């Protein structure tokens, strides 16, 4: 199974997927990383694994559609089975999404459909939720609204700090993304 990763930041989900591949737990290959941020740490991570990483600066293009055109040109050159969004902070445009039906995955730190968009954990804490979740879903043209593939929910309590909960969330994300990719890989 061939994967292209789209990301904007740290890349810990990328790292978890790559680790699972290296441990032979996941039969896949990360063909490339593409980021809209030049200094994103994920470029360093990709380099450490000798995985090509590309920077597409949206400022260099006339509009979002043109920048996404460049992203899809890069993606198509790798002929991936899935495009894995892992902390990609831009909303993908309709024409890009329509090019890849049932091929774009995303991970979101909430029990979707609750708390779409940014600061999902903070929203859950503000509402005094007693459980939070992580969701892997297909991307369609709605924000964080495509079909859910897998979700994991865990309880939280008032004695835990936001940082502690965040750490559990990230660990859960790393596990869940690998589990989903394993499942999807059976169909490739
Ligand atoms: C994750 O929390 C993910 O749910 C969200 O962005 C974050 C990316 O983290 N979409 P990382 O870059 O993989 O470390």
Task: Calculate the average pLDDT of the chain.
Answer: 97
pLDDT cut 70: percent of the chain above it: 100
pLDDT of residue 90: 94
- pTM exceeds 0.85, yes or no: yes
Tell me how many helices (H) and strands (E) the chain has.
6, 7
**Taking a C-beta distance cutoff of 8 angstroms, is the pair 49, 18 a contact?**
yes
> Nearest C-alpha to atom 3 of ligand 1 is from which residue?
87
CA of 95 to the centre of ligand 1 (A): 24
CA of 88 to the centre of ligand 1 (A): 8
Task: With a cut of 90, say whether residue 145 has pLDDT above it.
Answer: no
pLDDT tens per residue across span 130-144: 999 999 999 998 888
Task: With a cut of 90, say whether residue 30 has pLDDT above it.
Answer: yes
């Amino acid at each position: 199974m061939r994967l292209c990763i789209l990301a904007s930041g740290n890349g810990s989900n990328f790292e978890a997927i790559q680790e699972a591949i290296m441990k032979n737990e996941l039969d896949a290959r990360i063909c490339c990383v593409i980021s809209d941020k030049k200094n994103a740490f994920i470029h360093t991570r990709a380099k450490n694994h000798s995985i090509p990483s590309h920077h597409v600066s949206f400022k260099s293009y006339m509009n979002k559609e043109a920048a996404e055109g460049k992203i899809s040109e890069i993606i198509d050159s790798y002929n991936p089975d899935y495009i894995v969004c892992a902390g990609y902070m831009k909303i993908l445009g309709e024409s890009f999404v329509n090019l890849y039906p049932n091929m774009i995955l995303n991970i979101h730190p909430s029990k979707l459909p609750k708390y779409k968009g940014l600061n999902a954990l903070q929203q859950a804490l503000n509402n005094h939720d007693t459980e939070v979740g992580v969701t892997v879903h297909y991307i369609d043209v709605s924000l964080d609204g495509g079909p859910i593939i897998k979700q994991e929910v865990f309880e939280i309590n008032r004695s835990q700090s936001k940082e502690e909960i965040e750490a559990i969330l990230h660990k859960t994300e790393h596990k869940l993304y690998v589990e989903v990719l394993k499942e999807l890989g059976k169909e490739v």
